[in-house]
Amino acid sequence: MTRGRRRNRCAKSAPRCAIATAARQRQATVREDRIDASVGLYAENTSYWTPTLRSIAGLRYDAYRFKVNNARANGHKFSPKLSLIFGPWAQTEYFINYGAGFHNNDARGVTGTEAAPPLVGTRGAELVRRLRAALLRPAPATSTIPTRRVWRASRPRASAMCISTRSSRARCA
């Protein structure tokens, strides 16, 4: 089992100021924003069911805090992940992956009068075939050549389902 944490309070979250000046001399601070701060916790477990079947399950929790002017917004999301890996057979493995995630909107857009949600969720799934490069030189036997995505579906928002295959562009319903 793997677990860990992440905390972000780096330059991106450092205070940003708007300062009034006259003749290049500071007069007053007009606005000071601490754009965002975040923390994330995760855990992952790999299970070997048979010599040719394994699963990887993971869960991540992220919390964000936004502050612009005097307005504040908070958001948090859980992001589950699940992978089933079949193989190897003749140096080929197949993956079935499912995951949920999010993207965070700009802090200045989540604290206004018509505020956007701080964290926007998304879901996706894919079927992937990976070939091992056992005969390539000088690469080591454990290296892989680029994977080929056989099928992928994603749901960027609750009202649309997009499916793409190698032979067609994404179709959304």
Residue 159 has what pLDDT? 38
CA distances from 80 to 17, 38, 51, 154, 155 (A): 37, 18, 25, 15, 15
Task: Report how far residue 45's alpha carbon sits from residue 36's, in angstroms, rounded to the nearest whole number.
Answer: 30
Q: Say what percent of the chain tops pLDDT 90.
A: 21
Residue range 50-71: average pLDDT?
Answer: 88
Q: For the chain, how are helix, strand and coil distributed in percent, rounded to 5?
A: 5, 70, 25
* pTM, to two decimals: 0.60
Q: Is the pLDDT of residue 157 over 50?
A: no
What does the angle CA 99 – CA 102 – CA 108 come to, to the nearest 5 degrees?
Answer: 175
Among 143, 146, 151, 141, CA closest to 130? 146
